[in-house]
Amino acid sequence: MVASWYALLRKRKFLPLFLTQFLGAFNDNAFKLSMLTLISYYLSATQSQSENYQAIAGALYTLPFFLFSATAGQLADKYDKAILTRWVKFLEVVLMIIGGIALYNGSIFLMMFTLTGMGIHSTFFGPIKYAILPDHLPREQLMPATGLIEASTFIAILLGTTLGALMIGDDMSPVIYAILLTNLVAVFGFVSSLYIPPALSSMPLVAVDWRPWRATKNMLVEVVGNRAIFPAIFAISWFWLIGAVMLTKLPDYTHFVLGADTTVFALFLALFSIGIALGSLSITYLLKDRITLRYVPIAMLFLSFFAVDLYLATPAAEQERVLLDLSAFLSQLKHWRIMIDFFLFSFCGGLFVVPLYTYLQVISKEGSRARTIAANNICNAFAMVVGTLLVMLMLYFNLSIVLVFLMMAIFNALAAAVLWFLLRVEHRVC
């Protein structure tokens, strides 16, 4: 399997796309965290002001996925995906120049403008990066290629998040490093996009609807009504929902429940990203490149098992005033079980999401593949919003963080049962 990944990474039909999407995911998170760290530590007068800016930033980044995903899918089905990618990456270069000016001057308005632009950039690139794979690769290479894309995305998120925050140090002078980093990465991403081979459209007569709400509504109605596609989109959206819930509560879980400092929080972020990445790569080995959804509900049930054990392993909320640093945290044996549970929880997430993305590529009609991916992206964004609202609802009822984890494990087991039923009805398990 390692030889298969190595062979893929040597192909011109895959390596430029791989690098382009990796650098784009990295830059999204590097700029966002540099911006939010700068606002939180240096540009906000109060904690509530900082929290408001962070909430606004999250909304501005997510909104384009709802507004423009349908149009992005139509464009990707109508035109050469390689050419569209170059335009999108050129937009990223322009945005990072603006973002650099914003970071240097401490302009919150320009930062928010740039972040919104990066949301638009990701919205238009999202349908391309999966829809282009079947254009360039044979069916037997789609599973390992999707695994590499998914794994590298989460590693890019981890690196971008970490470096983006670290670039803003104890004073504002290192902001120049954040500017140089994000601009150089944007340029490298544009250069790598120039080497992506052509991916000509098989449906050049596709009509592009420039009215976002109507285009989105029509696309969702079409996809939800497709009983072959809907189970995969349902399961992928559930993956993003449960991920949003876990990551939303992770800072408070680390701080208030485990009584640990930010270095331990960083460790859990690393475990999350690396776990999903390794799960994404492992499933291609376990399935031997076969495209099947047969084992997805099983992987989901294992995810629930480790979430339940995380609940059982978590001690009562720490009462110590001094937060544990990384070395003190690792010195206590009880914490290792928690780390292993969280890592395996994330690993199972990678196991179940890669077959779904691969299946979505092959089950979609060639001329409408990008629109199907775009519809999936809309559903994923909606699921993440629902996940955030679900956390708020649970907090309203004063549920503890670990009880939230337990409830998500139960809901996930139910979702696995629903998916199994949908797959059985449609005979889509093989």
For residue range 61-96, list pLDDT tens digits in order.
888 988 888 888 888 888 889 999 999 999 999 999
Q: For the chain, which residues make up each domain, given as ranges? A: 1-210, 211-430
- The chain-wide mean pLDDT, for the chain, equals 85
Residue 226 near residue 343 (C-beta atoms within 8 A): no
Bridge partners (DSSP) listed for residue 260: 324
Whether the CA torsion 137, 156, 22, 367 is positive or negative: it is positive
Q: What is the pLDDT of residue 200?
A: 77
3-state secondary structure at position 260? strand
For residue range 329-361, list pLDDT tens digits in order.
999 999 999 999 999 999 999 998 988 888 888
Q: Establish how many alpha carbons lie within 13 A of residue 361's alpha carbon, considering only the half-sphere containing its beta carbon.
A: 29
Q: What is the pLDDT of residue 425?
A: 62
- Distance (Å, rounded) from C-alpha 214 to C-alpha 218? 6
- Distance (Å, rounded) from C-alpha 358 to C-alpha 373? 11
Residue 22 confidence class, pLDDT cut points 50, 70, 90: very high
Q: Same CATH fold, 211-430 and 1-210?
A: yes
CATH class, domain 211-430, is: mainly alpha
Q: How many CB atoms are closer than 10 A to CB 255?
A: 17
Check whether 115 has a pLDDT greater than 70: yes
Right CATH for 1-210 from 1.10.20.140, 3.40.50.150, 1.50.10.20, 1.20.1250.20: 1.20.1250.20
Q: Where are the alpha helices (DSSP H) in 287-368?
A: 296-313, 326-330, 333-363
Burial class (CB in 10 A: 0-12, 13-18, 19+), 1: middle
- Distance (Å, rounded) from C-alpha 303 to C-alpha 300? 5
Q: In this predicted model, which residue has the larger pLDDT, 173 or 50?
A: 50
Q: How far is CA 193 from CA 12, 92, 144, 198, in A?
A: 11, 12, 21, 11
Whole-structure pTM value = 0.83
Q: In this predicted model, which residue has the larger pLDDT, 378 or 285?
A: 378
- Distance (Å, rounded) from C-alpha 67 to C-alpha 286? 38
Residue 202 confidence class, pLDDT cut points 50, 70, 90: low
